[in-house]
Each structure stands twice: as C-alpha cells, then as structure tokens.
Structure 1
Amino acid sequence: MPSLLIVEDEPVLAQNLVKAFAGQGFDVEVAGRIADARKLAATRLPDVALLDFRLPDGSGLDLLAALVREDPELPVIMMTGYGSVADAVRAMQQGARDYVQKPLDLNELRLKVEQALRSRRERREISYYRGRGAAPGDILGESTTTQRLRTLVARIAQMTPGAGAPAPTVLLLGETGSGKGHTARLLHASGGRRSGPFIEVNCTALPENLVEAELFGHEKGAFTDAKAAHAGLFETADGGTIFLDEIGHVTAPLQSKFLNVIEEKVVRRIGATAGRRVDVQVIAATSRDLEAAVRLGEFREDLFQRLSVAVIRIPPLREREGDAVVLARTFLADTCRRYGQPLRTLSAAAVETIARYPWPGNVREVANTMERVVLFSDENPLPAEDLALPSTVPPEGAIRVSPSGEVLIDFPDGGLSLEAVERALLVRALEKAGGNQSAAARLLGISRDTLRYRMEKYGLVE
C-alpha cells in the first residue's frame, strides 16, 4: 500500500484530503506543523508528500529541503494559496516535483499524485533490474502435459486482479532448468499486475550478511554503511509481483520473516520503528521437495501451507513427449538470429537424437546445446554428432536425484569411497553456489560451520 504524507495546517482541508486519498488505497498520515511532519518522516518516509508552502512554525520550503535530503527520490508536491512564479521556481529548484494552487482541484491533485507514485515505482524498478528485457513468450510445446500447464497458468493469471486487490500466492515446483522463472514472468505479464514491477530474487544468491537489508530495506544510519535510507525488494515490488526463486533453501530465520510478510503484507526496514504496508503478489519457486523438507524439520510447515495456495508443477522435459524437438528448433532459430547467422535446420538423425535424449538439465540444457552448436558448427542441416550429447546410459557409480527428491546411486561392483563421494558433493555444491559458502551449505542442508569443517577435512580451504 503506497504511503502519503499530507502537511497542511487547515484542519478541514487536511481531513478532506485524507478522506479522498485513503479512499484510493493510500496509507495517509497528516501533520499540521513542520515539527510534527519531521517526527512522522523520521519514523517512516512516505512514497509521496503533499506540502503546504506556509505553515504555523515555518516555511514549507525548509521541510522540503529536509525531506529531499533524507530521500532525494521522494516526490513532493507543494500546495499554496499565495502562489507566485517565484515560489514555484524556488520549490522546483529545491527538489519539488510539482506544485498546485489553492483552492485545490481534487481531480488535478489526484492525477499529479498518481503520476508521482508511478514515476517513483519506475525509478525503483529500473535501479533493481526490472523485467529482464522483453515480455516472455508463451510456454513452448505441443504435448498434452504442456497444454495442461498452459491452461493452468492462463487460469491463475486471469484470476489475478490489479494492484490494490488481494492476489493469489503461487508456488512453482519443478526440477532445475524446467522453466520456473519463465512461468513466473508469464504469470506476471498475463495477470492484472502486468503494469507493475516484476522483481526476481534468487534466494540462494543473496549474501547472508545483507539478505535482510536487501529484502526489507533499511533506514539511514541503521548500520555502519547505511548512508541513506534504502527501499528493500518487497517495497520495490509494490503494486506488482515479487518472485522468490529457490525458496526451499532459505534459512529458518528468513523463513519466519517471509511468513510474516506474506501473511501481514507489512515489511519493517532495519532501524525502523514502524512497518510499511506493501501490495505485492508473491510467486515462489523451488526444485526441492518441500513436503520432505517439512518432515525433516528443515522447512516451516506453516510457511509451506501459506505458499501452497496455488501450486503449479512444472513437468520435466522427459515427461513432455515431443516438446524437446519443438524447443530445439525454436532455440536454434533464435540463436542464429542473435548471432547474425543464416537460419539452420535439424537433420533427421539430430531430431531422433533430441527426441530420445532424457534432457536431465531440462529446457535450459536444450537452450545451451543449441547455442553451442551455432557457435562451433557450420553444418546445415545440423548432424546428430554436432549436438555432442552425452550417452543416455548413466556411467557406473552415477549419483542422481529422482523427480521426487530421492537420491539414487548406481553402485559399481568395485564399490565407492564414501570420502570421495562426500568431497565431490562439497566441490560440486561450492561450484554451483559460485564459491559462496553460505549458499553451498544451504544446498547441502547443513550449517556453514559444518561446511567449513568438512572443507578443512578434505583440504578445500584456500
């Protein structure tokens, strides 16, 4: 919910403004004096401020300067009954977004406030990697499984209203590379919140010491490096959607905070004494078996239940008969265009190989394979050997994870070294986490201290 600060010393006018904007869904606070406004702003800076030029205890321009110092992006609209060109120029020079003259035209003022709020949201969004480029295309594939998935996604999107109305929480379940991120972007782009921001958060990539500040924001001076107030990702997503990817691997304290935000729709910045209402749709995704994690006590059951309002399972590519070939042809054409190469086709042998291969890396593996062949092969039609796909028979001693999350081991006749397996798991987790030890520990379901101990045991500490 966007917040509005009204600083106006005429009680009747102030109450009329409160009534008008509260009815539009704003969280409104009002002050009749500069001193009162400073106290309110010190507790919580608003998203937009309406500020009278002349107040009983000083000039509105002085308060304007103080507000803009705290938040240079704060849109302030000045109101005056003694307007002059000089006043307007001074206000704009000191950081005001706009000004209006009394008696106020309420429709004009509403329009200015809405424009200011929209502009603020856009600036926040740009600064936080909005949108990942163009709007996502549809879910590719012709299998019955994919058709059912498209129907389900379209239904949830159709049921999602615009900003200001409650939106369903969605949980996307699927293996790595199956298209959970694409599905989340499609849900946002097709739903009622499409004009709002889409903020994507990789829960395993956030540094542990900064995760709370990034997600929930902080006030100026909240900690050593907090030189200015900072809106968190939940606030940035206000009016739109926040996508919490790999939520199944977050720590217990963060699970608790997510539960509170999803239930109450309120975030509290670090260093703040009051919460801020946020109007966001939450879409979460994970490749982990959350029910198993709940049974093991590694994931909160109440958070799992809260996330499971609308559950969409993204099937792995091996369950989508014929779709791998459709995807391969599409990715091959897209990659050729991206690199300025002539369009190419797949040979009959390549089509057969693609259809037979199980694609353990799912859609992402298809995309990467097509990019690789465009970069390293000039053949047209593309021969099967240029795909360079590994054998479909797992090597002796292979370890893999089933769709249900069960660990499967093809135990070799000669046996396995437990220490070698453990060391390999540590190395692979660290590689997948980009060297981030906290993220690697979460992937393995152990504490960071345990990870460090085992890294030292196997000589993996530099």
Structure 2
Amino acid sequence: MPPLVLVVEDETILAEAIATYLERHGYATAMAPSGEEGVRFTEETSPDVAVVDIRLPGIDGLEVLRRIRDVSPSTEVIMMTAHASVASAVEAMRRGALDYLNKPLDLEELRVVVDKALAHQRIQRELSYLKRRDAAVGHLSGIIGDSAPIRTLRHQIEQIAALDSPEGGPGPTVLILGETGVGKELVARALHHLSPRSAGPFVEINCAAIPATLLEAELFGYERGAYTDARNAKPGLFEAAEGGTLFLDEIGHMDLALQVKLLKVIEEKSVRRIGGLRPKTINARIIGATNRDLEAAIREGAFRADLYYRIKVLTLEVPPLRARGADITLLAWHFLDRFGRQYARPPKELTPDAEALLLRYPWPGNVRELAHVMERIALLHPSPFVKAEDLGLSGGKAAMPVIVDAAGTVVVDFTTGGIVLDEVERQLIEAALEASGWNRTVAAQRLGMSKETLRYRMEKYRLRPPG
C-alpha cells in the first residue's frame, strides 16, 4: 500500500498540482481545502505525511499542525507558505514540523522532503519498537521460571541493580557467568532496566565476533586520521553508552592486549580514542559475560588475572536449563504459544510423554536450544498434539546409541532413536579425560585433536577435573 500524503491547501489548483505530481511518483494523496477538514481527515485516517499551508481560512496552519500532532503523533508534517519569516519557521519547527518550504513550490524539492519525512517516520517506528522490546525483555518478568535457582537469580539481580547510580559515576562492574544459551544477555538487560540507568542507552557488543583490531576501534573510537581509512572521527561504544550500560558479551575471548586497555578504562573511568591526545571521562556501567572458565584461562595465560579480579566485583551465575526442573516445561509451553502466535499457527499441546522427555533431556544448548525446538514444532508439526517422538530429541540421559568398533569405525544405532551430536562429543571428551586421569595432553592424543581444540571443547561443555 503506497504512503498516504494529505495536502491541506485552500488554493485548489496548487493542491491538485501537488497531488497529481506525488501520485505520479507512487504516493496516494488526499486534499483538504481547510484546516478543520484536514484535522478531521487526519483523525479518521492517520496519513503518513501532511503538507500544510500556513495561511488557511478558519484555523491557521500552525493550529492545524498542533492538532495533527495531538490526534496522530506518527504523522510527519511539512509546512509551506508564500509569506516566509524566520519567526514563523521557528514556531513551526518548535511545534513539531519536520520541514518548512517556501512558495512558489519546487515540486521536486517537495518530493525529496516527503521522502525524508517517510524515512524519518520509519526510523521513529523502529526506535519505538526497539524501546518496547527492550522494556519487555529487560524486566524480571522476561526471566521465566519459578525454580529455586531462578528465584535466587532474580533476587540477586534486584540487589545488584539497586547498587548503581548514574550521578555517582560508573558504579561497580558485573560479571555474568553461564553456559552458552542460558540467557546471559537477558540478565544484563534486566540489570540495566531495573537500575537508575534505565533511561540511558543499553549498548552491547560480542567480543568474540569481531577481530581484535576492529574491536578496539569499536570500543574506544578513533580520531580523524588515526589510520588510513579514518576520514572522520568516530566515538566508541564506551562514549555511546554514556549514562547507561555497556554489555561486553563473551568477554572471556577478548584479546590479551585489549584486556590491558579495558582494565585501564575500568580503573581510571576514562577513555582515549585511537589517535587522540586527551582522555574523556565516561559514566557507563560495564557488564561482562562469558561461558568460559576464566580461572582456567588465567592458568593457561589466555586471560589476565588483574582484569578478572577487577570485573568480578559482583558476579551472577545463570543456571543451566537442566538444573531448573519444572521450568523446562514452563518454558516449552511459553515458546510453543509465542511462536504459534508469531507465525499465526494453530495452537498445539504437549502430551505427558513429551513433557517427560523434555525433563530428561540434558539440553546442552540450554534455553536457546529449547526455543529452537519449540519454534520448529510450531512451524512444521501438523498435529495439535505434540508427542515425545515429535520433538526430535534423544531419550534424555540414557546412553547414546554410538559404538566405535575395533577398526575405529563409528557405528550409530538409529533404531533406538536420534542422537544429540553435542552430547555425544561431550561424553567422548569426558570419557577420554577420565581415562587419562585428566591429563589434557594424553586425552587430546587419544581423541585425535590438538590440545588447544580440547581446551576449547572443555570450556564449551564446562568440563572440569573432579575436586
């Protein structure tokens, strides 16, 4: 459906010329010869853009502008007049007009301004959606569950969020620990939205997804000429998060050289752009999150001990899904209902045997994996009832039907059901470690992988020596 432009103009010939020109360029148009009719039309249809003459019979254009902003805040208003003055232009912009054009109109210029108004409207709608989404997922109600670990986590979030104040500086750093897929970002957002910083920005970045040199530029920003492609200065994310929260996801995978600079920012509460001469004081709370065993990473020389002790001032550990008991079925029903409504699919119901399998299954991918399973069921399952075999999961914690014969060939007995590849890998690595007395060099040799690959897999599955 084309965008609708309302033309409020008492000169019929001009109004028709504007409407004809815009229609030729793909817009739908409507005309109103008076301010009263323009306001009435806006109340009934909420046009995307209104082009309003400032001099009209009856109420004038400035009053029309005020009333349109009242009855349809999303409508962008462009004022036009043959009697331009600085005072009238300033007053129109103060009342919420997007732009101000002089008569005689240049129709091409008008089309450019209408395009700008529509682009501005799209941005405002996106921002409004993002704010609503952030508010919805940011509160504790977004952390679904009633298990003891989740009740404890909610209480800890409330306590830690209340400790911060934007007037008092950045506040203490927070470290969120947990396996992949448990919802660490959800916890970070809840901390932000429950804190006095909730009106400020929540800025996030995944430290493992960006090369070290680019990550430094993103975090610290740079001055013009700092390097070859730096044609303009750019503020970094520390500055962008001013008065709010900076969330450093996967902080455990940050480059060692960058860890030194992060430690300096936390301790000095200031940041200096790449190529800059003066440090800038910052007021942003820093929250880090990782699924990595940071103490093991310190022993291996992959993470700085001084940074670790600095960021773990306040620590939250998000429990894995398998430790949350009945929360698993509660979340399954929640996701099934949410995706059903999102994709306009018929409602579906989990049978008792399906719920029992959900409770038995180890969920190596945690809540993220459960959400993906329920999304697939909502989209593709034809029956209103979801049985255990429909879930596409293995039989839970029972032994995996995987055998390695004498020749080293892997044989999988799929007649007993499916397998979960991550769980097979986890069990194989754990068995190799136990057989080698947790000697990583020997275990890596037995598994046919490098010691570094084994270390990564141990972090992924949070495998640690007993005791």
Matches of 1:158 and 1:428 in 2, distance apart? 37
Matches of 2:273 and 2:443 in 1, distance apart? 50
Matches of 1:206 and 1:234 in 2, distance apart? 16
Q: In proportion to residue count, which structure has more helix?
A: 2
| 1:15-26 equivalences in 2 (<5 Å) | none
The aligned residue for residue 191 of structure 1 is: 195
Query: Is this contact kept in 1: 2:432–2:446, CA < 8 A?
Result: no
Question: Which of residues 335, 340, 347 in structure 1 aligns to 2:339?
Answer: 335
The aligned residue for residue 228 of structure 1 is: 232
The aligned residue for residue 204 of structure 1 is: 208
Query: Can you list the C-alpha shifts for 1:47-91, whole angstroms capped at 9, x where unaligned?
Result: xxxxxxxxxxxxxxxxxxxxxxxxxxxxxxxxxxxxx969x98xx
Correspondence 1:370 to 2:374: yes
Matches of 2:365 and 2:166 in 1, distance apart? 35
The aligned residue for residue 347 of structure 1 is: 351
Matches of 2:444 and 2:191 in 1, distance apart? 46
The aligned residue for residue 298 of structure 1 is: 302
1:410 Cα deviation (Å)? 5.4
The aligned residue for residue 270 of structure 2 is: 266
1:208 Cα deviation (Å)? 2.7
Q: 1:223 is paired with a residue of what secondary structure?
A: coil
| 1:10-409 equivalences in 2 (<5 Å) | 133-136=134-137, 137-392=141-396, 393-394=399-400, 395=402, 398-400=424-426, 408-409=430-431
Query: Is this contact kept in 2: 1:131–1:199, CA < 8 A?
Result: no
1:213 Cα deviation (Å)? 0.9
1:166 Cα deviation (Å)? 4.0
Matches of 2:294 and 2:393 in 1, distance apart? 31
1:283 Cα deviation (Å)? 0.5
1:163 Cα deviation (Å)? 4.8
Query: Quick one: which amino acid aligns to residue 177 of structure 2?
Result: L
1:254 Cα deviation (Å)? 0.9
Matches of 1:188 and 1:401 in 2, distance apart? 38
Query: Is this contact kept in 2: 1:220–1:228, CA < 8 A?
Result: yes
The change in CA–CA distance for 1:425 and 1:297 in structure 2 (over 3 A counts) is closer
Query: Quick one: which amino acid aligns to residue 144 of structure 1?
Result: A
Query: Is this contact kept in 2: 1:203–1:247, CA < 8 A?
Result: yes
The change in CA–CA distance for 1:381 and 1:163 in structure 2 (over 3 A counts) is farther
The change in CA–CA distance for 1:144 and 1:262 in structure 2 (over 3 A counts) is same
Question: How large is the RMSD of aligned CA atoms in angstroms?
Answer: 3.6
Query: Is this contact kept in 1: 2:291–2:460, CA < 8 A?
Result: no
1:165 Cα deviation (Å)? 3.5
1:418 Cα deviation (Å)? 4.2
1:231 Cα deviation (Å)? 0.8
Matches of 1:278 and 1:252 in 2, distance apart? 22
The aligned residue for residue 100 of structure 2 is: none
Query: Is this contact kept in 2: 1:241–1:282, CA < 8 A?
Result: yes
**Highest CA radius of gyration, 1 or 2?**
2
Query: Quick one: which amino acid aligns to residue 379 of structure 1?
Result: S
Q: TM (normalized to structure 1)?
A: 0.60
- How many pairs are equivalent? 310
Q: 1:325 is paired with a residue of what secondary structure?
A: helix
Q: 1:243 is paired with a residue of what secondary structure?
A: strand
The aligned residue for residue 437 of structure 1 is: none
Query: Is this contact kept in 2: 1:173–1:285, CA < 8 A?
Result: yes
Q: 1:285 is paired with a residue of what secondary structure?
A: strand
Comparing 288-297 and 148-157, the one that deviates more: 288-297
Matches of 2:426 and 2:334 in 1, distance apart? 29
| 1:405-416 equivalences in 2 (<5 Å) | 408-409=430-431
Question: Which of residues 449, 458, 461 in structure 2 aligns to 1:422?
Answer: 449
Q: TM (normalized to structure 2)?
A: 0.60
Query: Quick one: which amino acid aligns to residue 400 of structure 1?
Result: R
Query: Is this contact kept in 2: 1:317–1:359, CA < 8 A?
Result: yes
